[in-house]
């Protein structure tokens, strides 16, 4: 009995040691589990941050995606947007070879100025009225062909120096354009506004989606004759036919019936330069900008009145919108 009682302290000591060892192992296990859990949490947090960052980048790229102007799907087989022009329109260094266009009739007859903007501002009519580009870029044309139109960034233009009166008492102006903003902007004009006041013979401009042609009976360019609403962000054709002998001005847009009005005067003669893409007024008159932002292509001037059939032929050049022609 005494021996059994004497052995109890030893057994209790062993049990205490075992209990301490178990507690030590449990503490180590808890420390290991805590460290592992902390490391896992860091990994999960990192993964979460990466996922959130990727989502934010995706949303930013989506909302800031480029909204370049589309070419007309009815003609072009590509639905790709027009790229932002990167090359600069260069001036003509020598008289270019005359470019022949295939139209019924004689649409080379009476052609005194033609700017196709195939990488430069050369006059391909053969009359040497070459333009001087001021920051103008090269863009894609209505058929999706690169380097085949002029892109104006809202601060650039092309100046055709005055050498002779391009517009007589009978003339036709035609061009293609893409409007991109609602401001009042000049597309093509013979106009300036300096310390001597307003000087000009004509201007083709738009204010918002309204395209307007103005001639000047006295050089002030205050007589808006015709206007037509067109939509923004798409290629459109416009032609103006001025006839003093018939006392009329006619505005064509795309393949639609023209708008016509009568006049009872001859435009004032002017010797200022011709401008494609607008300009800025003199500081004396507020320095207001009329620069154009958008695309212009295939600008032509004739010293005669083109017929309805000839205008339609220019509009359908290259097979553009032939469905409308067949209707």
Q: Does 106 or 306 have the greater pLDDT score? A: 306
Give yes or no for residue 304 having a pLDDT over 90. yes
How confident is the model at residue 227, as a pLDDT? 80
How confident is the model at residue 74, as a pLDDT? 25
Give yes or no for residue 2 having a pLDDT over 50. no
Q: Is the pTM of this model over 0.85?
A: no
Task: Compute, in degrees rounded to 10, the torsion defined by CA atoms 185, 189, 190, 191.
Answer: -10
How confident is the model at residue 242, as a pLDDT? 92
Least confident range from 4-13, 190-199, 246-255: namely 4-13
88-116 mean pLDDT: 64
Cα dihedral across residues 317, 128, 200, 217: positive or negative: negative
278-303 mean pLDDT: 80
319 φ/ψ sector (left φ>0, alpha ψ -120 to 50, else beta): left
How confident is the model at residue 97, as a pLDDT? 38
42-58 mean pLDDT: 62
Give yes or no for residue 295 having a pLDDT over 50. yes
Confidence class for position 5, pLDDT limits 50, 70, 90: very low
* CA count, 13 A, side-chain hemisphere, 317: 20
pLDDT in tens, 56-99: 555 544 444 333 333 332 222 233 334 444 456 655 443 333 34
How does DSSP assign 223-282, residue by residue? Answer: EEEEEEE--SSSEEEEEEEEETTTTEEEEEETTSPPEEEE--S-PPP--SPEEES--B--
How confident is the model at residue 146, as a pLDDT? 93
pLDDT in tens, 126-166: 999 999 999 999 999 999 999 999 999 999 999 999 887 67
Residue 170: name the closest of 308, 293, 302, 10 by CA. 302
Alpha carbon distance 248, 78 (integer Å): 40
How confident is the model at residue 203, as a pLDDT? 86
Residue-averaged pLDDT of the chain? 75
Give yes or no for residue 15 having a pLDDT over 70. no
- 3-class SS at 173? strand
Q: Does 298 or 247 have the greater pLDDT score? A: 298
Q: Which tokens is 126 given? A: 């053969």
34-49 mean pLDDT: 64
Q: Does 120 or 16 have the greater pLDDT score? A: 120
16-37 mean pLDDT: 68
Give yes or no for residue 112 having a pLDDT over 80. yes
How does DSSP assign 89-140, residue by residue? Answer: PBPPSSPPPPPP---SS-TTTTEEEEE--SSB---TTSS----EEES-EEE-
Give yes or no for residue 310 having a pLDDT over 80. yes
Residue 149, Cβ density class (10 Å: 0-12 exposed, 13-18 middle, ≥19 buried)? buried
Alpha carbon distance 85, 125 (integer Å): 25
Give yes or no for residue 266 having a pLDDT over 90. no
Give yes or no for residue 240 having a pLDDT over 90. yes
pLDDT in tens, 194-228: 655 555 678 898 988 889 888 876 555 455 667 88
């Amino acid at each position: 009995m005494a021996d059994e009682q004497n052995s109890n302290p030893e057994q209790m000591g062993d049990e205490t040691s075992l209990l301490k060892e178990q507690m030590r192992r449990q503490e180590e296990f808890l420390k290991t589990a805590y460290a592992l859990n902390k490391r896992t949490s860091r990994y999960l947090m990192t993964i979460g941050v990466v996922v959130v960052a990727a989502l934010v980048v995706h949303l930013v790229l989506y909302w800031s995606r480029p909204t370049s102007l589309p070419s007309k799907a009815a003609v072009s087989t590509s639905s790709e947007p027009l790229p932002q022009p990167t090359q600069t329109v260069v001036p003509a260094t020598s008289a270019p070879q005359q470019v022949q266009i295939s139209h019924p009739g004689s649409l080379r007859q009476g052609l005194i100025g033609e700017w196709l903007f195939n990488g430069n501002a050369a006059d391909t009519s053969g009359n040497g009225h070459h333009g001087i580009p001021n920051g103008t870029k090269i863009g894609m044309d209505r058929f999706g062909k690169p380097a085949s139109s002029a892109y104006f960034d809202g601060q650039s233009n092309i100046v055709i120096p005055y050498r002779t009166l391009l517009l007589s008492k009978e003339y036709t102006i035609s061009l293609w354009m893409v409007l991109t903003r609602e401001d009042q902007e000049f597309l093509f004009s013979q106009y300036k506004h300096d310390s001597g006041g307003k000087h000009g013979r004509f201007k083709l401009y738009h204010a918002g989606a309204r395209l307007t042609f103005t001639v000047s009976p006295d050089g002030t360019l205050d007589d808006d004759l015709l206007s037509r609403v067109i939509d923004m962000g798409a290629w459109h054709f416009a032609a103006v036919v001025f006839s003093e002998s018939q006392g009329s001005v006619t505005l064509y847009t795309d393949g639609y019936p023209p708008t016509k009005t009568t006049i009872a005067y001859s435009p004032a003669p002017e010797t200022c330069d011709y401008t494609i893409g607008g300009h800025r007024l003199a500081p004396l008159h507020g320095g207001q900008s009329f620069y154009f932002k958008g695309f212009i292509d295939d600008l032509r001037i004739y010293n005669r009145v083109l017929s309805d059939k000839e205008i339609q032929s220019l509009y359908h050049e290259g097979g553009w919108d032939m469905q409308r022609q067949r209707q």
